[in-house]
A and B are shown apart, each in its own frame.
Chain A
Amino acid sequence: MYRKQVRRRRAVLALLVIGSFALLTVTYGQGSDGMQRGVSTVFSPILSVADGALKPARDLVNWFDETFDAKGRNERLHEELKTTREQAVGAQAALAENAELRKLLDLDRSGAIPSGYEPVTGRVIARSPTVWFADVTIDVGSGDGVEVDDPVVNGDGLIGKVAAVTGGSARVTLIADHSSAVSAKIVPSGIQGVMKPSVGDPGDLILDFLDSEKRVGKGQSVVTSGWRGQGIESEYPPNLPIGEVVEASLLEQEAQQQVHIRPFADLRELDLVQVLTGGSRG
């Protein structure tokens, strides 16, 4: 009797392990399949309701965390405020000039959303608990016009792109995910590079493959380069803000051709996002 039980237990365990490996082999890199679509469709409304209901409790916990942080941030913010005030005067002039130029070129005056893209607003309803995957699930999907590879932004800048869609939800791979690589440029110098994450630290992105002859300075902004040529083009439209250079040592630039960037968007605390659907991606 006992032996029979042990045999049965071992058989179930072996079945589960083989099943896990089989699922991993079949589904890795394939995107969403029918089962995931079904489960996601059933659970999306439940997750949406749970997300709304648990928001006050989440806010309370986050408030404690932010209070701990606030003390340290205060000094840094004072310094930043001083610098920003100085820059604001210059920015006002640049903004006026920019508006005139845009008017002349008959481009979109706001410039926030690139022309040809239709923004679809969604809310983050789930996110991966492990540090190895920087993914979030949002409550808009193919039914709202969302497609795989659509860029996703929030009020601060680029946050990632759509990796998989179901009817009412989509998985967004954040720019902090290990699989992410974004072609980016530094403004105003226009130095091009590829932005990659540092796994486990969403506040630190690496702009790699820079031209070692050109110098990048701390505080410079980084935007998507949105290149196109010979029938292929970047998945991201040009000039979406990504972040600012926070560490640009001469040694690192010359030896490794890279600088460190802090993303404008807080990738740990995402709520409302916009998926840029449509566009002219080939």
Chain B
Amino acid sequence: MILTPNILARLVAIVVGGVILQLSFFSQVALFHVVPDVLPALAVALGLLGGSLTGAVCGFSVGLLLDCLLIAPLGGGSLVLLATGYLAGLFRERFEIHSALVPPLLCLALTLFAELGFGAVQLMLGVDAPVSALVIRDMLLKAIFAFFLGWAIYVGVRRALRPALVEEPMTARRRRRPTVLGA
């Protein structure tokens, strides 16, 4: 990714917009009693398009802003989403993205990873109450939602960052063939 002031501003807007949308919309709707979490998918999209460093920095920023706005202990969200963004970026650097299904599948897997990460951080800090088995259902449904929402997020972020992308990761643009009259 070629980082110019314009692209940096777009990255900041994506991060801030994503966190505001999560808190004001997704966190307040419930599908099958589960609140969708799009922030891991956002970190995945940024990691896939920008590489491991961009993914890690954006994931860290998303987590930090989230914790600030929720007036929660800082660092937990940053740590988990930084790892999520970094892993997505690492995937992009190591493997070719051959199929359009790769980004949503990666969103599914890494959202599950992020939810487990949130759980691990919380367990590390201490949980003073019994944990219901419904936590597993919640994590799995969040991951499934991320599969569907992740595709839209990836396409939206790619569109916003298109001027900075060195290569089109999904498909090469098709060149229009010249029309040959009489052929």
Contacts and interface: CB of A to CB of B under 8 A. Distances in A.
Contacts of A17: 79, 82
B125 to A, nearest CB: 6
Contacts of B26: 129
Contacts, number: 188
Interface string B76-112: 1011001000100000000000000000000000000
A266 B69 CA distance: 23
A131 B23 CA distance: 14
A35 B64 CA distance: 11
A43 B20 contact: yes
A21 B75 contact: yes
Query: Range of interface residues on chain B?
Result: 35 or more
B75 A178 contact: no
A131 B135 CA distance: 7
B20 A57 contact: no
Interface centre among A13, A50, A130 (most CB of B within 10 A): A130
Nearest to B122: A132
A200 B134 contact: yes
A234 interface: no
Interface in B28-80: 28-33, 35-37, 39, 52-53, 56-57, 60, 63-76, 78-79
A171 B70 contact: yes
Given A20-B82, A58-B29, A178 B24 contact: no
A206 interface: yes
Interface SS, A side: mixed
A21 B128 CA distance: 21
A46 interface: yes
Interface of A: 9, 12-13, 16-17, 19-30, 32-33, 35-36, 39-40, 43, 46-47, 50-51, 54, 57-58, 61-62, 64-65, 68, 124-133, 135, 137, 163-164, 166, 169-171, 178-181, 196-201, 204, 206, 268-269
30 contacts: A12-B53, A13-B86, A20-B63, A20-B82, A23-B75, A26-B74, A28-B125, A30-B73, A32-B71, A39-B69, A40-B71, A43-B68, A50-B21, A65-B33, A124-B28, A127-B28, A127-B35, A135-B70, A163-B71, A169-B71, A170-B71, A178-B127, A178-B129, A196-B129, A197-B129, A199-B131, A200-B132, A200-B133, A268-B33, A269-B30
For the complex of A and B, 3 pairs with smallest distance between CB atoms: A24-B75, A23-B75, A200-B135
